[in-house]
A and B are shown apart, each in its own frame.
Chain A
Amino acid sequence: MGRIFDIKRYATGDGPGIRALVFLKGCPLACAWCANPESQHAETEILFYRDRCVGCGRCVAVCPTGAIGLDPAVGLTTDLAKCTACGRCVDACLHEAREKVGEDRSVDEVMELLGRDRRYYENSGGGVTLTGGEPLFQPQFSAALLGACKREGLHTALETSGFADREAMELVLEHVDLLYYDLKHPGPRAHQAGTGQSNAPVLRNLSRIREAFSGDLIVRIPYVPGFNEDPDVQRKMIETASRVRGIRRVEILPYHRLGLTKYAALGRTCAVADLAPVDKGSLGGLRDLGRRHGIEVEIDAR
């Protein structure tokens, strides 16, 4: 079984053609700018969109642990200590104000769903992309799912932070055609501060990637003001990427704020909530930087 929080059936930004995007839940990193905060925790969670709530109380009535309360000042509240994420409140809600994220699915179940769109993948040269969260955080499941895709002749892609055991990486990469590998910061301290983890495994895994993986490789760099927008920092990462043998290109993903409503729905605050979205037009210099290192840099391929 794997814990999945979403499957998008017509994804177009993470690999060629028409693709299914399988989102695995749980990530060892905790990036401050994460656009999918519901992907971070391994546990199943309930999102609550306060602006859609009409305060009818149907969820309060069905909650078996009394976790949902009504505070006259702010409306509904959830005591996370009591919530078991059973999802009954989601079923009860008539206004789509609640969403359950995180379902345990077998490889066969996921393959059944992917099989429904098989002809779209084949006709468009597309396939399946695993993303997260961190797919390497569930290595057995990811390897089994991607292996099943390969047996079905589907093109596979994987998006990873690179923060994983060597063994997990090798286990999964065996079944991957296209790898998206994130670089976030070259400095150990800054990386630790921004993502909650050391970048040592990320850099080590990348430097040895070709021992385990011979497919297409694209390095992705999130461009986050206040974290890694320093030209020197960007240069170092592009340099690092350019040293990987046979790398296809670097993709710069400028910070955006589309995840903010989900932080609110999770009852969390985003550490960089005040950060303005990046103007893509200002990043042309990175393309020139790439050219000087003999590597193509694409801004926001999505």
Chain B
Amino acid sequence: MTLRTDRLRNELLEARPRICPERARFFTASMKMTDGQPIVKRRVRAYGDVLRSMSLYVRDGELLVGNLASTPRGAPVFPEYSVEWIEREFHGDPYHFYERPNDVYDYDEETKTEVLEILAQWRGHTVYEIVRGLIPDAARQAWDIGAIDDDWVTQNGFGNILPDYGVLLPQGLRGVIDRAKARLAELDLKQPGEAKKQWFLESVIAANESVIGFAGRYAEKLEEMATRESDKARRAELETMARNCRNVPENPPSSFWEALQAVWFIHVGILLETNGIAISFGRFDQYLWPYYERDLASGKLTREKALELVESFFIKVNELNIFRSWAGAKFFPGYHMAFNLAIGGQTRDGKDASNELTYVVLDATAKVAMPKPSVSLKWFERTPRELMSRTLEVVQEHSGGQPAFYNDPGVMRMLKNLGVAQEDLWNWAPVGCIEASIPGKWDFACKGPRLNKAKVLEMALHGGKDPATGITLLPGGDLASFASAQDVMDAYKRQLHYFMELQVMIEQINDEVHIQNDLNPFRASLISDCIGRGKDLLEGGSIYSTDGGPTVGAMTAGDALAGIETAVFEQRWITGAQLLHAIDTNFEDDSTTPTGEEIRLLLLNKAPKFGNDDDRADKWTVALTDYLGSTYQKEFKNSRYGKGPVPACFAYCQSSVTANVAMGKGVGALPNGRKAGEPLNNGVSPATGAEKNGPTATINSVGKLPSIWFSRGAIFNLRLSPDTLLTQAGRDRVTALVQTLFEKNQYHIQFNVVGTDTLRAAQAHPEEYRDLLVRVAGYSAFFAPLNRELQEDIIRRTEFDMAQC
């Protein structure tokens, strides 16, 4: 890392996130003037006003420019989505922004006053309020119970977008504008529906011109700064940067540096249009390679300079921030924005795609060692051993579980099953936490309410009643009445189906509300074939489309089913009624025989658990996963069905992020020995403490899962003891673990390598460990600022002992 990168990084570590009112200010003022006009035209005008008016900054020494807010790590406000939580939290309910257990934001009184005034203008008109008002009572109750949860896509815009920079860079935004103009000229406005297309295409042109204008503002600022700069070297840099901003993103980049700047402007442009997260970078080492190769050959660039530029890019990514509710921050702690960035994988003709830039990205990942972006390696059978080894070294150096590993052929198999065309498969890239997408062709790689599978099981065991609230939505038999473990499973499936239906209903309404309030022509113009069809993404503009929110807790639920089968129906230690009483009393009634605690220990220590290569447990998780995966994909259509995209269905997502902790809090005791409120399992990883036979047995269990349904991702965390990756022999062994998991067609694996001692020390002395990274779920975060519960969950995730690894 150069001195410059080091300084920029240190400044960023010191920077406190601040609430930035600018975007809300200019956006709201503009929207007030256009009431009654088509939403796409209103929003694009407001977008232009924001890009023309917001303040710009250039940090001392930085090589790339473009900011989201008025300060590094500043968080812009998007009042059109939700206001209620902001008002509440400004008043200290449940915390003031600056005193939250994690994800704090600072602000001054002036900002607070201004933001509250703006929010008042939006009250009653936000997407969140409109959706909540329109959904059926049962869906609202299911949401309040915590069986499903749509906060993340109703309090904010939709995200999980992946532009195809390989196509965009060579044409520039001018190319996008030209295409929209050509399409506009073809419209026959006498024909039905064409008027709407006209509005959309005109908005596409306006949006792209606004982003070009935004870059132009930087060019002016940089030119002006250059004239005042006394340091010759810096002056030359500022002049180059000004020229870069004059050329990109409007035109094709003429250098590697410009290509990075172009990607950056487009990325920030998307983030200023809506605050949907998980806008991803795709196959970074592929689309930037031609620029790198050309500049290196011409002598314009060295590997060292390229590394500094990529480091500078990574620093910029960490300047970005999102203003998130406390409820949201419990699910996505660490100011998580899920910007995925892929390396490796294969070329169109099946050759290894890695190149020198792949290794430059790895070096930058290790050296910058910050939470963003989420770097991902696409592995396939011809990925060089040297690349695996270097990537595993970086996992150790980064410490926060980056890069993560993705199964290239395995994901291609899943995407093919979903209906993705053969010629698109090779170029897929992970988006957000984990979900597979085809660059420039997919609408939202992840979208829709979350499903708490453990909560639904709890309700199924209680005759459909949620014990915490007393609410019954779909009545049925309870645990005391079931005659076999299969009866329990059948009742559980019936409840699951009911809640999946509610998920789908909510999302249909959510989409219709967004169509009326939240069309976004800039990002739509980057996804094929929105311009051709004259449609926004939500109207069916993309080639591919799926919905399906993250689901949580399948392994916890599977273990609970195995516990019921063992304790009640096979070993007959206790009856169903006794077990029901035991979980209702949180295993704390010591007046029964056996006592509540004895029942808990029987379930915990004597019943089989997922993660040990034991079919007695694994069969339940497999059956549950197969049921959910096939039902989502085969039974439910999303709102774009019949409008152009394929397959336009729902799909199964197991990207729990940290929802396993937040959702676990609302779930009572379960028959796997888990007490009320404890975390659920994370992704497809075994429940904490369940696996006892080492990593091969754990991988064998995961390997049994019906991964054909996993195109929306399945996070698998494996913790390694801290010295595992330090030797070549250790890295070779871990490579074999990855390879074997992927031969079993599974989706993903990531490693946590920080030792318990280090994590405990960081809890005791957070100030000394402020840049200690950990893998949280599909992303990395600094450990010290996380809340205590999450810290404990991370520590408890099984660390295979030294003798084992």
Q: Which A positions have Cβ atoms within 8 angstroms of B?
A: 8-12, 16-18, 56, 91, 94-96, 116-117, 119-120, 123-126, 258
Could you mark each residue 664-695 of chain B with 1 if its beta carbon is under 8 Å from any beta carbon of chain A, else 0?
A: 00000000000000000000000000000111
Asked if B696 and A117 make an inter-chain contact with CB atoms under 8 angstroms apart, the answer reads: yes
Q: Which B positions have Cβ atoms within 8 angstroms of A?
A: 598, 601-602, 605-606, 613, 693-697, 699-700, 729-730, 732-733, 735-737, 739-740, 743, 800, 803-805
Residue in A9, A10, A91 whose Cβ sees the most chain B Cβ within 10 Å? A10
- Contacts A9-B693, A10-B696, A10-B800 given: A120-B737 contact, CB under 8 Å? yes
Asked if B605 and A18 make an inter-chain contact with CB atoms under 8 angstroms apart, the answer reads: no
Query: What's the nearest-Cβ distance from chain A to residue B602, in Å?
Result: 6
Asked if A9 and B736 make an inter-chain contact with CB atoms under 8 angstroms apart, the answer reads: no
- Of all chain B residues, the one with the shortest Cβ separation from A301 is B729
Q: A12-B729, A119-B743 are in contact. List 17 more A-B contacts (CB 8 A).
A: A8-B804, A9-B693, A10-B694, A10-B696, A10-B804, A10-B805, A12-B733, A91-B606, A96-B605, A117-B696, A119-B740, A120-B699, A123-B740, A124-B733, A124-B735, A125-B732, A126-B736
Residue in B601, B696, B805 whose Cβ sees the most chain A Cβ within 10 Å? B696
Sample of 28 A–B contacts (CB below 8 Å) = A8-B694, A8-B804, A9-B694, A9-B696, A9-B697, A10-B696, A10-B800, A10-B804, A12-B733, A12-B804, A12-B805, A17-B732, A17-B733, A17-B736, A18-B733, A18-B736, A18-B737, A56-B598, A94-B601, A95-B605, A117-B696, A117-B697, A120-B737, A123-B736, A123-B740, A123-B743, A124-B736, A126-B736
Q: Which residues of B contact A125 (CB under 8 A)?
A: 732
Q: Which residues of A contact B700 (CB under 8 A)?
A: 116-117
- Of all chain A residues, the one with the shortest Cβ separation from B603 is A94
Residue in A11, A12, A16 whose Cβ sees the most chain B Cβ within 10 Å? A12
- Of all chain B residues, the one with the shortest Cβ separation from A20 is B696
Q: Which residues of B contact A126 (CB under 8 A)?
A: 733, 736
- Contacts A10-B805, A124-B733 given: A94-B696 contact, CB under 8 Å? no
Q: Which residues of B contact A120 (CB under 8 A)?
A: 696, 699, 736-737, 740
Q: Which residues of A contact B735 (CB under 8 A)?
A: 123-124
- Of all chain A residues, the one with the shortest Cβ separation from B732 is A124
Asked if A18 and B739 make an inter-chain contact with CB atoms under 8 angstroms apart, the answer reads: no
Q: Which residues of B contact A123 (CB under 8 A)?
A: 735-736, 739-740, 743
Q: Which residues of A contact B736 (CB under 8 A)?
A: 17-18, 120, 123-124, 126
CA–CA, A124 to B695, complex, Å? Answer: 14
Give the 3 A-B CB pairs with smallest separation, nearest first.
A124-B736, A94-B601, A10-B694
Q: Which residues of B contact A94 (CB under 8 A)?
A: 598, 601-602, 605-606
Query: What's the nearest-Cβ distance from chain A to residue B612, in Å?
Result: 10
Q: Which residues of B contact A96 (CB under 8 A)?
A: 605
Asked if B804 and A95 make an inter-chain contact with CB atoms under 8 angstroms apart, the answer reads: no
User: What is the predominant secondary structure among interface residues of chain A facing chain B?
Assistant: loop
- Of all chain A residues, the one with the shortest Cβ separation from B601 is A94
Query: What's the nearest-Cβ distance from chain B to residue A47, in Å?
Result: 16
Query: What's the nearest-Cβ distance from chain A to residue B727, in Å?
Result: 10
Query: What's the nearest-Cβ distance from chain B to residue A172, in Å?
Result: 25
Query: What's the nearest-Cβ distance from chain B to residue A216, in Å?
Result: 16
Q: Which residues of A contact B694 (CB under 8 A)?
A: 8-10
Our pick among A17, A95, A116 for the contact of B601 (Cβ within 8 Å) is: A95
Query: What's the nearest-Cβ distance from chain B to residue A99, in Å?
Result: 12
Query: What's the nearest-Cβ distance from chain B to residue A38, in Å?
Result: 15
Asked if A12 and B602 make an inter-chain contact with CB atoms under 8 angstroms apart, the answer reads: no
CA–CA, A12 to B732, complex, Å? Answer: 11
- Of all chain A residues, the one with the shortest Cβ separation from B800 is A10
Q: Which residues of B contact A11 (CB under 8 A)?
A: 804
CA–CA, A112 to B694, complex, Å? Answer: 17
CA–CA, A297 to B695, complex, Å? Answer: 31
Our pick among B598, B693, B696, B743 for the contact of A18 (Cβ within 8 Å) is: B696
CA–CA, A9 to B694, complex, Å? Answer: 7
Q: Which residues of B contact A8 (CB under 8 A)?
A: 694, 804
- Of all chain A residues, the one with the shortest Cβ separation from B724 is A12
Q: Which residues of B contact A119 (CB under 8 A)?
A: 740, 743
CA–CA, A258 to B801, complex, Å? Answer: 13
- Of all chain B residues, the one with the shortest Cβ separation from A7 is B693
Query: What's the nearest-Cβ distance from chain B to residue A60, in Å?
Result: 15
Query: What's the nearest-Cβ distance from chain A to residue B804, in Å?
Result: 6
CA–CA, A17 to B739, complex, Å? Answer: 13
CA–CA, A12 to B602, complex, Å? Answer: 32
CA–CA, A10 to B696, complex, Å? Answer: 6
CA–CA, A17 to B729, complex, Å? Answer: 7
Q: Which residues of A contact B696 (CB under 8 A)?
A: 9-10, 18, 116-117, 120
Q: Which residues of A contact B697 (CB under 8 A)?
A: 9-10, 116-117
CA–CA, A258 to B802, complex, Å? Answer: 12
CA–CA, A258 to B697, complex, Å? Answer: 24
CA–CA, A96 to B602, complex, Å? Answer: 11
Asked if A116 and B733 make an inter-chain contact with CB atoms under 8 angstroms apart, the answer reads: no
Query: What's the nearest-Cβ distance from chain A to residue B599, in Å?
Result: 9
Query: What's the nearest-Cβ distance from chain B to residue A30, in Å?
Result: 23
Query: What's the nearest-Cβ distance from chain B to residue A36, in Å?
Result: 12
Q: Which residues of A contact B800 (CB under 8 A)?
A: 10
- Of all chain A residues, the one with the shortest Cβ separation from B730 is A12
Q: Which residues of A contact B739 (CB under 8 A)?
A: 123
CA–CA, A125 to B728, complex, Å? Answer: 13
CA–CA, A9 to B693, complex, Å? Answer: 7
- Of all chain A residues, the one with the shortest Cβ separation from B604 is A94
CA–CA, A8 to B602, complex, Å? Answer: 24
CA–CA, A95 to B606, complex, Å? Answer: 10
CA–CA, A101 to B336, complex, Å? Answer: 48
Query: What's the nearest-Cβ distance from chain A to residue B551, in Å?
Result: 28
Asked if A116 and B602 make an inter-chain contact with CB atoms under 8 angstroms apart, the answer reads: no
CA–CA, A95 to B739, complex, Å? Answer: 37
CA–CA, A126 to B736, complex, Å? Answer: 10
CA–CA, A125 to B696, complex, Å? Answer: 15
CA–CA, A254 to B739, complex, Å? Answer: 34
Q: Which residues of B contact A91 (CB under 8 A)?
A: 606
CA–CA, A258 to B805, complex, Å? Answer: 16
- Of all chain A residues, the one with the shortest Cβ separation from B600 is A94
Q: Which residues of A contact B695 (CB under 8 A)?
A: 10
CA–CA, A124 to B737, complex, Å? Answer: 8
CA–CA, A124 to B388, complex, Å? Answer: 13
Query: What's the nearest-Cβ distance from chain B to residue A259, in Å?
Result: 12
Query: What's the nearest-Cβ distance from chain A to residue B149, in Å?
Result: 36
Our pick among B613, B729, B743, B803 for the contact of A116 (Cβ within 8 Å) is: B613
CA–CA, A123 to B379, complex, Å? Answer: 15
CA–CA, A157 to B693, complex, Å? Answer: 21
CA–CA, A16 to B695, complex, Å? Answer: 17
CA–CA, A139 to B450, complex, Å? Answer: 58
Q: Which residues of A contact B602 (CB under 8 A)?
A: 94
CA–CA, A8 to B697, complex, Å? Answer: 10
CA–CA, A117 to B696, complex, Å? Answer: 7
Query: What's the nearest-Cβ distance from chain A to residue B54, in Å?
Result: 53
CA–CA, A91 to B602, complex, Å? Answer: 10
CA–CA, A8 to B695, complex, Å? Answer: 11
Q: Which residues of B contact A56 (CB under 8 A)?
A: 598
Query: What's the nearest-Cβ distance from chain B to residue A113, in Å?
Result: 9
CA–CA, A120 to B729, complex, Å? Answer: 14
Query: What's the nearest-Cβ distance from chain A to residue B729, in Å?
Result: 8
Q: Which residues of A contact B732 (CB under 8 A)?
A: 17, 124-125
CA–CA, A32 to B733, complex, Å? Answer: 34
CA–CA, A124 to B731, complex, Å? Answer: 10
Residue in B605, B730, B800 whose Cβ sees the most chain A Cβ within 10 Å? B605
CA–CA, A126 to B733, complex, Å? Answer: 9
